Amino acid sequence: MKPIPAALTIAGTDPSGGAGIQADLKTFQELKTYGMSVITSVVAQNTTGVQDVHHIPEHMIEQQLKSVMSDIPFQAFKTGMLANPGIMDAVAEKISELNVLYIMDPVMVTTSGDTLISEDSRDYLRDILLPMSTLVTPNMPEAEVITGEKIDTSEDMQQAAKQIVHEFGADAALVKGGHLQDEAVDFLYDGKMMHTFSTERINTKNTHGTGCTYSAAITAYLSQGCTLSDAVQNAKDFITAAIRDSFPIGNGSGPTNQWAHRAERVN
């Protein structure tokens, strides 16, 4: 019997439903992948920003991981918000037991500008977790933090993707250009080849949760057996549709629409 595509997200929450665990599970569901979640931090946030954060005790993060890992097989997992070195340590210890695909979204700052991980976590993320990853998906500011280099142009993005693989040890890096002015171009470097994924820039403020949704879609496609470049291309199509048809709800940066890929408009 063919295995059931299943994926796990290890991340923080968003009660307003646009980012974090909620975005990941909606995306897994949309892409017909059985979704599971381990919560690292409960974040009181909405489309306007972050109001408060409560970190889950490390033993509970470990126990959640044990509960899932001892019971249900999955082909791929992703990490999102890992707020401090203690949480990263708890996650690193458990995931080192896994032999499945690991997609790391190196979440640092939200679209609204709120910081989600402590300053002293950045080195841990880069030096301990990143080398374990099959793919890491930084946006331009995150790629700057990882590489220590200024990233302004598409040449800088490609250079950063290569550096993240060769110098910092990820199997592959996808540097995302959502922060560029003219086009939304992302570069995937897999250790051998550079792949380019480009669309026109959509003029919208509703980009809350784009990074979460994109990395969750990549994780879902990988869990179904797609190659890395096919998974990224399919996920790029998914996130582009989700941004194009994003929801103009809330008082800030509205959420993306995970069912837009079905080509049925809802608004």
Ligand X SMILES: Nc1ncnc2c1ncn2[C@@H]1O[C@H](COP(=O)(O)OP(=O)(O)O)[C@@H](O)[C@H]1O
Nearest to 245 by CA among 231, 221, 263, 227: 263
**112 in helix, strand or coil?**
coil
Cα torsion 72, 77, 263, 244: sign: positive
User: Which position among 79, 210, 213, 256 bears the catalytic label?
Assistant: 210
Among residues 18, 20, 80, 211, the one that binds ligand X under rule CB under 6 A: 211
In the list ligand MP5, ligand X, none, the entry touching 239 (Cβ below 5 to 8 angstroms by class) is ligand X
Distances (CA, A) of 267 to 66, 156, 259: 41, 38, 12
Quote the CA–CA distance of 127 and 186 in Å, as a whole number.
23
Q: Assess contact for 24 and 33: CB atoms under 8 A.
A: no
Least distance in angstroms from the C-beta of 178 to ligand X: 2
210 labelled catalytic:
yes
86 labelled catalytic:
no
User: Which position among 17, 80, 212, 254 bears the catalytic label?
Assistant: 212
| Footprint of ligand MP5 (CB under 6 A) | 11-14, 19-20, 43, 45, 80-81, 107, 110-111, 116, 208-212
- Nearer Cβ to ligand X (64/234): 234
Stretch that binds ligand X, among 42-50, 158-166, 178-186, 220-228 (CB under 6 A): 178-186
**And the tokens for 223?**
């869990």
Stretch that binds ligand X, among 88-96, 120-128, 202-210, 257-265 (CB under 6 A): 202-210
Q: Assess contact for 254 and 208: CB atoms under 8 A.
A: yes
207 labelled catalytic:
yes
Q: What share of the chain is helix, strand, coil (3-state, %, to 5)?
A: 40, 20, 40
- Nearer Cβ to ligand MP5 (138/209): 209
Element (H, E) at 38: strand 34-39
Stretch that binds ligand X, among 26-34, 53-61, 95-103, 199-207 (CB under 6 A): 199-207
- Nearer Cβ to ligand X (6/106): 106
- Nearer Cβ to ligand X (20/211): 211
212 labelled catalytic:
yes
Amino acid identity at 194: M
Residues 222-241 that bind ligand X (CB under 6 A): 236, 239-240
Quote the CA–CA distance of 215 and 264 in Å, as a whole number.
23
In the list ligand X, ligand MP5, none, the entry touching 87 (Cβ below 5 to 8 angstroms by class) is none
**And the tokens for 260?**
């837009």
Nearest to 260 by CA among 23, 30, 2: 30
In the list ligand X, ligand MP5, none, the entry touching 201 (Cβ below 5 to 8 angstroms by class) is ligand X
In the list ligand MP5, ligand X, none, the entry touching 199 (Cβ below 5 to 8 angstroms by class) is ligand X
- Nearer Cβ to ligand X (124/197): 197
Quote the CA–CA distance of 238 and 248 in Å, as a whole number.
18
Active site residues: 176, 207, 209-212
